[in-house]
Amino acid sequence: MIQYFSMMLVAVGLYGLLSQKNLVKLIISLNIAEIGVNLFIVSIGYVEGGAAPILSSVSDNSSLLFVDPLPQALVLTSIVIGVGVTALALSLIVSVSKSRNTIDITELSSGGGDSE
């Protein structure tokens, strides 16, 4: 179920990337798709009845059933890189809107907006 839901999020993000014209909305679509992919990768490592992969006073033995920690570690990397991409893209949008006074991609490609 969660796998279908995460893929639905990716499809929503894909729809946004294809149909939107506002640059900020494109970034939002990219982030939605990214969340879907991250959820999907974590769900691949789920083991029925498994505990969170942390040894504690509750689950104190390595022979107990745990979920797969490797996808979680990879998703941690993916989230951080997503933050970097989003920050850089937003700063590009800020500088584009400063120089062209528009963030609509059709106006940008047709040379519209007030170029200084």
Partner 1 sequence: MKRIISALIALLFFFMIVTALNSDSSDSMGIPRYGEVKLSERVSAKYIEKSVNGNEDEINFGVTVDAETGSANMVTSIVVNYRSFDTLGEVTVLFISATGVGLLLGGGRKRIGSVISVSPVVKTASRVIAPLLMVLGIYVFAHGHLTPGGGFPGGAIIAAGFLLLVVVDDEKRASKGLKILEGTMGLLYVFIGIAGLLISGSFLSNFLPTGVVGELFSAGIIPVVYSIIGLKVGAELSGIVDDFISEGGDEV
Q: How far apart are CA 79 and CA 47, in angstroms?
A: 22
Which of 84/112 has CB closer to partner 1? Answer: 84
Binding to partner 1 by residue 24, rule CB under 8 A?
A: no
The answer to whether 116 and 97 have CB atoms below 8 angstroms apart is no
Q: How far apart are CA 85 and CA 27, in angstroms?
A: 9
Binding to partner 1 by residue 76, rule CB under 8 A?
A: yes
Q: How far apart are CA 107 and CA 9, in angstroms?
A: 29
Side chain identity at residue 92, one-letter code: L
Binding to partner 1 by residue 80, rule CB under 8 A?
A: yes
Interface residue with partner 1, options 61, 110, 111, 114 (CB under 8 A): 61
Side chain identity at residue 73, one-letter code: A
Side chain identity at residue 105, one-letter code: I
How far apart are CB 96 and partner 1 at their closest, in Å? 10
Binding to partner 1 by residue 53, rule CB under 8 A?
A: yes
What is the contact surface with partner 1 in residues (CB under 8 A)?
A: 1-4, 7-8, 10-12, 14-15, 18-19, 43-48, 52-57, 59-63, 66, 68-70, 72-73, 76-77, 79-81, 83-85, 87-88, 90-92, 94-95, 98
